[in-house]
Structure 1
Amino acid sequence: MSNKSTKAGLGCENQPTNAPSSVWEVEACGRTTCPGQGERTCRPDQGREVMYSRSGTGRALLADSSTRHYSSDSDGLPVQLLNDKLSSLDAALHELAQICMGHHEVKLDMNRGSRKLALCLIGALAALWLLRSYFWPSCFREDEPLMLSKQKYTIGHNQKVYSYDRYMPLIFIGGVPRSGTTLMRAMLDAHPEVRCGQETRVIPRILQMRTHWLRSQKESLRLEEAGLSKEVLDSAIAAFCLEVIARHGDPAPRLCNKDPLTLKSAVYLSELFPQGKFIFMVRDGRATVHSIISRKVTITGFDLTSYRQCMTKWNTAVQVMHSQCQEVGSSRCLMVPYEQLVLHPREWMRKILHFVDVPWNESVLHHEEHINKPGGVSLSKVERSSDQVIRPVNLDALSKWVGHIPNDVVRDMADIAPMLSILGYDPDANPPPYGSPDSAVADNTRKIRSNEQLWETKAKDILYPLRSSHEGNSDDAETDTAPMA
């Protein structure tokens, strides 16, 4: 049973079925005020989806009138309010029309007074019609039908209903592979209100496809001729990414995605998900490249036999991501140095949780205690870092690269990878002075080193069943096929 909790999406009981344009606003406390009914107890919508559109008369119509959710027009006014106003106007117009057409019995002599009354009625009728004509176009000024997004829900194992849409505060974790993205997602996954999960591997690919479509004149022409405007394409990509993020793991109040290469498209994602925030993991490029080469993490464009070529590729990739993060802005993109997260996890996790507006919880400092537990940290069958994140935060990975990089590459490092200096790393130091660790991290490191065999056995016990079940299911599960630059 997941220990992640959330506010449930709810709907009104006893909703009238003869009001197809009614929309119901759900309060966070689980109560709702239903028009004409006062405050009533609300029920879960059990995953029902509702599509709003507008008919030729300008009405907001429900594709399914049995389930209603809050919606608004283009000016931010609730559609329910608009339809209530229009209903009142329609009723008044209908009543006046009945009187004028003689369908209501009116005892009046056709003297001067009755003629004056008739003129008044006609004037009132015209005024109401003008008012109606003015009021409705203020909300929908085009004659074309209007399509509004669906409100979507998933139901967790705890039977709570979790709503999600493009305007929820998603969290995106990215960076060059082997830069600490897995540790970052594991620490967030340990929080009871956050679910990141394993890499999806498909979101970077769909973003890459979109880039290809836009860069290719031939593909752009095909899209244009098919009526697929930028707005249509963006909406489709956003819906695809949202479904993948929402449904590839257990529901939770805050959803998070960790696909390292997504940071190459941070600006575009920030447009698709206007409330989303980005955590940009950076690491000393020499350590990143050594990890890529030593662990044989194949990435398109990286030559795993050449440190020089890989450092050049790292520099290009991290430059793109750094530029994207800067363009998104500091209010929505936070750069997190892997070394500082490892040395000072409490300090940096407080910064990170504050940045993503998630309350503090001590569990983020003990992610290893939540491995493969319900609502905790689910390990990947294919990610190379899984054997590392089962351990508490420690110092072992900080300087493993020292002594493994060829001398000629070390000599030319400042020219090969100028982004090292921009990110705050000394290209001439081997290793640079990263800093002193917190006492808790130093203790973790001593305990791990004194019981290395114990941790290796634990890793095999946890990971061997996962990887055995995955054998034969993937041609190259470790390959990041999206090019880095």
Structure 2
Amino acid sequence: MPTGLDTEAVPARTASPDLRDPCPLLFIGGTGRSGTHVVSKILGAHSRFRKVPNEARFHVDPGGFPDVLAGRTGPDLFAYRLRHYWWRNFEPARLSFRGLHRYVPRRRLDAATEAFLRRCERGEPEAACRQLFFDLLWPLAAEEAKAGLIEQSCDVVAEAGTLGDLFPEARFVHVVRDGRDVAASRVGQARWLAYPRTMGQGLAWWESRIRRIDAGIRAVGSDRVHEVSLDDLVSGNRRKHTYRKLRQFAGLRNEDAMLGYFRRRVKVRNAHAERWRQDVPAREHDSVDARYEQILDALEADGISCVRLLRRVRARRAG
């Protein structure tokens, strides 16, 4: 089944040395609660891209592509989960159904799944995974005559080693946000019903996710990954610079729709900056801040690249 990638026109070179050639597939990920949806909407406002409406997840979740290719999950079990979980599942935290059913018709799902199983039976699991992804999601781009697709499952950067091999044409964006705000948001989202339930647990959860993401960046190569700070996008004197570097990495020239969305919607009041100070009792602020500094020290000692962005935001807020 054609994906649209084979017939894409070769773009002309631009005079700007910082503007890369456009890519047909852009994965945008983070720890969760870090702003991936904001960045996806900015780039998705460009005429080149169609954004997958919500997280597809089957290519990165436990039991997904990485486990299939590593032999930890069989193709039949994967196909069962695709049809019965990733296509449509109920999420108690949101009291709603989520999944591929919102934009993948059942007939397309069934046909793509059968093709996947046939290729796996022929001993072609990598080709089967790649074609399944495009069979399910590329029609979103094709129906709007778009040349590129954006997918925003949180774990795409953490699993960039696997995805980078499957999709050599893809690039990755890691969206970074102050870990204290991420932890507070995650604890609030869980509503005490699931881990993490406290700020201490939330910071530990965030650190483990950052470490997984860094391992993914090392696996795929830093030249294919752009790290962007949500906090720099919404406030501070680096706002325009951060936006420009993001679009240049994606190979995009400025367009009124994209720039307009950025100016109107991507603002500090919409990003809930420093929400942790409202969510955490004042008497605990110093201990949370000290623990966050310890985590940053440990991450920096291990050479984790996004620490420079996190420290810059921390210094700006402290100053």
- TM bin, normalised by shorter chain, reads 0.5 to 0.7
Gaps of 5+ in 2: 10-22, 79-117
Code of the aligned partner of 1:266 = A
For 1:393, the equivalent position in structure 2 comes to 266
Q: Name the residue aligned to 1:324.
A: 216
Q: How does 1:18-37 map to 2 (within 5 A)?
A: none
User: Who is 1:253 aligned against?
Assistant: 147
Paired residues of 2:119 and 2:127 also in contact (CA < 8 A): no
CA–CA separation in structure 2 for the residues paired with 1:319 and 1:328: 15
> Where does residue 451 of structure 1 map in the other structure?
none
Aligned length: 249
- Secondary structure of the 2:197 match is coil
CA distance change for structure 1 residues 359 and 413 in 2, over 3 Å: closer, same or farther? closer
Give SS of 1:340's match: helix
Conserved? CA contact 2:158–2:216, under 8 Å: yes
Any idea what SS the aligned residue of 1:402 has?
helix
Superposition pairs for residues 8-27 of structure 1, below 5 Å?
none
TM-score normalized with structure 1 length: 0.44
One-letter amino acid matched to 1:290: A
- Between the aligned partners of 2:171 and 2:317, the Cα distance in structure 1 is 27
Question: Counterparts of 1:416-427 in structure 2 under 5 Å?
Answer: 416=295, 418-419=298-299, 422=304, 423-424=307-308, 425-426=310-311
Change (3 A) 1:409 1:182: same
- Structure 2 partner of 1:188: 43
What's the offset of the Cα at 1:313?
1.4
Structure 2 counterpart SS, 1:366 = helix
Say which of 41, 55, 59 aligns to 1:200.
55
Counterparts of 1:404 and 1:297 in 2: how far apart (Å)? 12
CA distance in 1, matches of 2:119, 2:147: 36
Contact 2:59 2:65 in 1 (8 A): no
Bigger RCO of structures 1 and 2 (CA < 8 A, at least 6 apart): 2
Partner of 1:433: 316
Q: 2 CA distance for matches of 1:298 and 1:195?
A: 36
Residue 178 (structure 2) aligns with = 284
Partner SS, residue 357 of structure 1:
coil
| CA shift for structure 1 position 297 | 7.8
**AA matched with 2:132:** F
Note the C-alpha offset of 1:368: 7.3
2:228 paired residue number: 336
Cα–Cα, structure 1 residues 297 and 263, in superposed 2: closer, same or farther, change >3 Å? farther
TM normalised by structure 2 equals 0.65
Deviation at 1:410, TM superposition (A): 3.5
Assess, with a 3 A threshold, how the Cα gap between structure 1 residues 435 and 307 changes in structure 2: closer, same or farther: closer
Residue 345 of structure 1 and its aligned partner are, at CA, apart by 4.0
**Greater fraction of residues in helix:** 2
Corresponding residue number in structure 1 for 2:32: 177
Q: Distance in 1 between matches of 2:35 and 2:248?
A: 20
Deviation at 1:353, TM superposition (A): 2.0
The answer as to whether partners of 1:290 and 1:401 remain within 8 angstroms in 2 is yes
RMSD: 3.8
Structure 1 equivalent of residue 107 of structure 2: none
| Unmatched tracts of structure 1, length 5 or more | 1-149, 155-161, 370-390, 437-485
